[in-house]
Structure formats: C-alpha cells, structure tokens
C-alpha cells in the first residue's frame, strides 16, 4: 500500500461459469484479465474457507482449510486427474445465483472420482507432492481431515453430538479412529492439496499480470468447526463443549436489537499462555495466500461483545477485553511485517485507534456510511480520509450503492446529487469517482456497483440468516466498454499512469509519485471542485512543477 492504487471486491463464488458456483477455474483468470484492462491492481475476496451454516464464509468449518466448492473441475481435467467425460452434464449457462446444494452434490462427486483416479492410475510422482503438502500443513490439516472424516460418518458437524470418546479426543479412541478412517482422511488431504495447487496457479497468474490479492480473515470461527473441536481450551466452553457465551454486536446501523452471531468467544488468557500459536499460524496461512489480509471486526481484538447463548437479541450483552497489543506484538515477532487492513467499522474506542496507530495498520472508510443519515442539503461533505486507509463505496455487508441511494429520503438524495454534481442516473459512477479521487492510498469498488445493480444484487444482509451469499455475475457482464470507463476514471484519479498496462516489478517506482498524487488531490479539494477541474489536471500541473 505504498502507492496510490485501486481494485475490485468480488468473491470467487460470484464468478460466471457453467457450474452452480464460481471457482478457481478459467473464469477467475478471465476476471484478472478484466482487472488489467480496467487498470485495477487489487482483487479483494471474502473468506475462502469451507462455508458453514447458511453458506456464510464468515462461519467456516475451518480457519485454515480452503473451500472444496471453489476447486475447478476444469483444472482437474487439465492435470489429467479427471477426464472431460467425467464432468459432463447438461449445461445451460451460468445460473443466476449460486446454487449451493447443486454445487455440493456435483463438486463432491467429482472430487471423490478424482481421488479414486489419483490413487489408482499411476500418479506416483504426484503422491509425493501430496505427502509434502500434508507435512507442510500438518498444524491444521491433520485435525481438519480427521474432523471431516468423522463428520461424514456421524452425519453432522456438531461434534458435541458425536461419540463421547471422539468428542473429547481420548487418545486410544483417536488412534483407532484414525486407522479406521485412513482412506477418508487421505481423501480430505487430497482435496485440500488440490485447492492449494489451484490457488497457487491463480495467484501466480495474477502476479504475472500485476494483480495483487486481498484476503479476509474472520475474527471468529464456527462452533461446529475443526478448530473448536481440536482446540477447545482456547474458547469459552462448558464441560459439554458448548459455549458459555457467544459473540455479537450491540444495536447499531444494521440492527436496532444488535446481532447475536452464536459463535464461541476466545479465552485470550489461554491463548496468551500458548504464545498465541493458533492465531499466529492462522495469520501465517493467510499471508501465504494473499498479499494483504483484511482483519474482519478488528475492534474484537481489543474487546468482544459477549451475549448469553440463549439470548434472542444482543441488547443485554457486555464487552470483555481481548488480546490487543500483546497479541500483535507476538504475531509481529513471529511473522515480521504484518500486511493487514483493519475492518475498524463500528463502535471504535480510543484503545482501538491507539492500537491501529501503533501498528500502522490502515483502517476502513465506507462512503455510504459517511454520506448517510447526516447528509442534508447544506451539510459539509465527509471528512477527508487518511492517506493510510482503504475507502469503499460499500462493502459486502452494505446494500449496493444503487439500492442504498434509492432508499435515501429525498432531501438526502438531493444533497448527495449537489455534492457529487450528478443526477439520478449518474449517481453510482459519481460515487465511484468520489472513492477513487479520495486521498486514501487504496480505493475498492464492489463489482455490483460497477454494474450499477440494485438491492437484488446485495451479497449479505446482516442480521438475516438466509438468502445471502448467492449473487453471481451474468455472462458477458464485464464488457470492454466497462473496463475502459473504469480505467479512464482510475487514470484521472491518479491511481494509474496513462498508457500503463500493468505495474512492472522490474521498474523502480518514482518515489515522488505518491506525494505528487496527494498534493494534487489537496489542490483539487481546495480549488478544483469549484472550477470543474479534475484530479488529473492537478496531477499534470504538479508533475510539471517537479520537472522544473
């Protein structure tokens, strides 16, 4: 984040392909190509772990594993692990929404077929690759593969309902079960290895195009996860393995009664006694996959809003302190520089702000919130964003910009039009221009906003459990004309050099470029808006001054 740039927020599941869900296949590389054409440098995704209850990527069955549904059958065919006939099915084009039941049925069938082929058809050379992967990822892979095998046998991921000896991980019972489930354990290791193979291929392709990846690490994990089963001591659980308290958020913008997330809360004292090993390994895995990682609900690293497991609302919850600076000091000592973005939205406290400043982690700004309920006809525009921040038009938890705008009171719509100098039809792209013109080092725009889609394309409605995480791109939606329009705005905002196809890693950046962009934006804010000039006008003027 040491240069001015921008990107797109699009989860892998939302890609358009012939299958019931987007994945790591050809559509992913095609999207990287679109990013190059549109002048974008950062691709931000939601969490990529196995989705849990209600298909939420934020309640995963593992804090480490990859989602098997993201594995591309096309890439399995390319590797020779499957034949093209193995994945043939009637295809009528991309489904309008992610079809999770169909995706689970088809993808798992193909993966099991691929595993049998891998075992029985002379893949000896690659068996050693799988063995090496298993050793390298042993910290989490052994427990996850074992957990997944038992889950399939028991018919539920709720490990508190399993056989007592396995639920409590009695040593003799574990040894017997590992022998009994040996083939199933190997299958789940194979699946995670294939996820890793395909992930690395996509990341290498993106890197070659000058595209960097932003991941997302949820603060909490699902109770019905391999992590809570394997490490019960670092969570607040009772003797039966059930949470004594669960996490949530107090009443806020999204819900008048708050949200009860029903995920277990960490016992930070126990984590500290273990030198935060589990969390450090979690970050190590994320840093190995992404160039930057967004820490979801950063406030929760300072304090957690705890609610009774029986509570129907979060009105009567209370805050409890968490790891804070102690955790990040241990993580920095173990991992070095922490390439993080903080989701610091919500009830930020002075302690949260102080920690962000100490760690020099950029925070998050969302234009919808900043323009929101305080925007009236004669009100001042939002405060200028810090340079060390990431600005969004909206996030996965917000309505689309078009949907949000349509729901504003008429006085606020008029005030927004006046501030942005745009009419109803232009408002979404005016917001995009506002985000990209901001002084923040990074600007991210959800793909739905680029397409000017309404509330029907919303990714998530916080506080509503069902019907989320289903939006998908339509075939052909990302057109060359759209790429050119976004590219033009990106150049005007000083986030891409005119004529540049992609950042060249062999070329040293001009050290003065970020300073020029920041100075140009200051002049634009002071004088350019009133005179109808663009950031690009001031960029050119500042460059000429530098040359003189």
Asked if pLDDT for residue 314 goes beyond 90, the answer is no
- Predicted confidence at residue 510, as pLDDT, reads 36
Distances (CA, A) of 290 to 39, 64, 212, 259: 20, 13, 8, 29
Over 80: is that where the pLDDT of 384 sits?
Answer: no
DSSP codes of every residue in 282-312: HHHHHHHH-SEEEETTGGGGTEEEEE-TT-S
Residue 463 has pLDDT above 90, yes or no: no
Between CA 77 and CA 13, with CA 187 as vertex, the angle to 5 degrees is 55
Flag whether pLDDT at 289 surpasses 50.
yes
> What's this model's pTM, rounded to 2 decimal places?
0.89
Q: Which residues, 6 or more positions from 64, have their beta carbon under 8 angstroms from its beta carbon? A: 49, 137, 139, 140, 141, 144, 227, 281, 282, 285
Digit-coded pLDDT (tens) for 95-105:
889 999 999 99
pLDDT of residue 509: 36
pLDDT at 345: 87
Q: Region 358-376: what's the mean pLDDT? A: 84
pLDDT band at 522; cut points 50, 70, 90: low
Asked whether the predicted pLDDT for residue 498 surpasses 70, the reply is: no
262: which DSSP letter?
Answer: E
Q: Which of 57-61, 178-182, 273-277 has the lowest mean pLDDT?
A: 57-61
C-beta atoms surrounding 155 within 10 Å: 8
Over 80: is that where the pLDDT of 503 sits?
A: no
* Selected residue with higher pLDDT from 500 and 207: 207
Under the banding of pLDDT at 50, 70 and 90, the label for residue 1 is: low
- Where is 247: in which H helix or E strand? strand 246-249
pLDDT of amino acid 520: 59
User: What is the rounded CA–CA span in Å between residue 123 and residue 276?
Assistant: 39
pLDDT at residue 92 above 60?
no
Q: How confident is the model at residue 511 (pLDDT cuts 50, 70, 90)?
A: very low
pLDDT grade, residue 512 (50/70/90)? very low
Distance of CA 287 to the CA centre of its chain: 13
pLDDT of 367 strictly over 60: yes
> Are 491 and 483 a contacting pair, CB within 8 Å?
no
State residue 377's pLDDT score: 46
pLDDT tens figures, 123-165:
667 999 999 999 999 999 999 999 999 999 999 999 999 999 9
Strands (E), 19-132: 42-44
Phi-psi region of 467 (alpha: psi -120 to 50; beta: other; left: phi over 0): left
């Amino acid at each position: 984040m040491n240069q001015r740039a921008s990107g797109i927020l699009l989860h892998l599941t939302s890609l358009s392909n012939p299958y019931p869900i987007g994945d790591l296949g050809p559509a992913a590389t095609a999207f990287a190509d679109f990013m190059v054409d549109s002048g974008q440098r950062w691709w931000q995704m939601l969490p990529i772990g196995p989705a849990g209850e209600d298909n939420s990527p934020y309640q995963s069955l593992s804090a480490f594993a990859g989602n098997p549904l993201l594995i591309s059958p096309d890439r399995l065919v390319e590797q020779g692990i499957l034949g093209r006939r193995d994945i043939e099915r009637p295809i009528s084009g991309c489904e309008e929404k992610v079809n999770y039941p169909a995706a689970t049925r088809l993808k798992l069938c193909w993966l099991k077929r691929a595993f049998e082929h891998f075992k029985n058809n002379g893949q000896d050379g690659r068996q050693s690759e799988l063995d090496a992967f298993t050793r390298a990822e042993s910290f989490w892979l052994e427990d996850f593969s074992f957990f997944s095998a038992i889950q399939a046998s028991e018919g539920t991921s709720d490990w508190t309902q399993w056989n007592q000896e396995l639920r409590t991980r009695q040593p003799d019972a574990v040894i017997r079960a590992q022998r009994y489930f040996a083939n199933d354990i190997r299958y789940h290791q194979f699946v995670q290895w294939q996820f890793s193979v395909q992930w690395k291929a996509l990341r290498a392709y993106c890197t070659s195009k000058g595209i960097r990846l932003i991941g997302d690490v949820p603060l909490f994990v699902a109770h019905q996860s391999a992590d809570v089963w394997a490490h019960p001591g670092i969570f607040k659980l009772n003797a039966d393995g059930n949470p004594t308290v669960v996490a949530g958020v107090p009443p806020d913008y999204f819900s008048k009664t708050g949200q009860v997330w029903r995920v277990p809360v960490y016992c930070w004292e126990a984590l500290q006694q273990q030198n935060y090993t589990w969390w450090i390994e979690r970050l190590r895995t994320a840093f190995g996959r992404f160039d930057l990682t967004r820490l979801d609900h950063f406030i929760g690293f300072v304090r957690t809003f705890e609610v009774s497991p029986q509570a129907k609302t979060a009105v009567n919850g209370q805050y409890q302190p968490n790891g804070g600076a102690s955790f990040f000091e241990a993580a920095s000592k173990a991992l070095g520089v922490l390439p993080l973005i903080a989701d610091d939205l919500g009830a930020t406290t002075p302690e949260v702000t102080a920690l962000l400043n100490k760690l020099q982690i950029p925070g998050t700004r969302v234009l919808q919130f900043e323009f929101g309920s305080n925007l009236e006809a004669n009100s001042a525009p939002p405060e200028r964003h810090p340079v060390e921040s990431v600005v969004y038009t909206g996030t996965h938890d917000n309505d689309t910009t078009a949907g949000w705008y349509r729901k504003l009171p008429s006085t606020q719509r008029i005030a927004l039009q006046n501030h942005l100098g745009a009419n109803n039809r232009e408002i979404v792209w005016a917001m995009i221009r506002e985000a990209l013109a901001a002084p923040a080092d990074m600007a991210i725009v959800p793909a739905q906003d680029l397409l000017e889609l309404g509330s029907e394309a919303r990714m998530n409605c916080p506080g509503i459990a069902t019907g989320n995480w289903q939006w998908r791109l339509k075939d052909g939606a990302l057109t060359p004309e759209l790429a050119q329009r976004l590219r033009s705005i990106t150049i005007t905002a000083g986030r891409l050099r005119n004529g540049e196809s992609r950042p060249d890693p062999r070329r040293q950046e001009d050290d003065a470029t970020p300073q020029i962009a920041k100075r140009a934006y200051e002049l634009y804010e002071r004088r350019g808006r009133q005179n109808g000039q663009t950031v690009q006008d001031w960029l050119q003027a500042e460059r000429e001054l530098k040359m003189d």
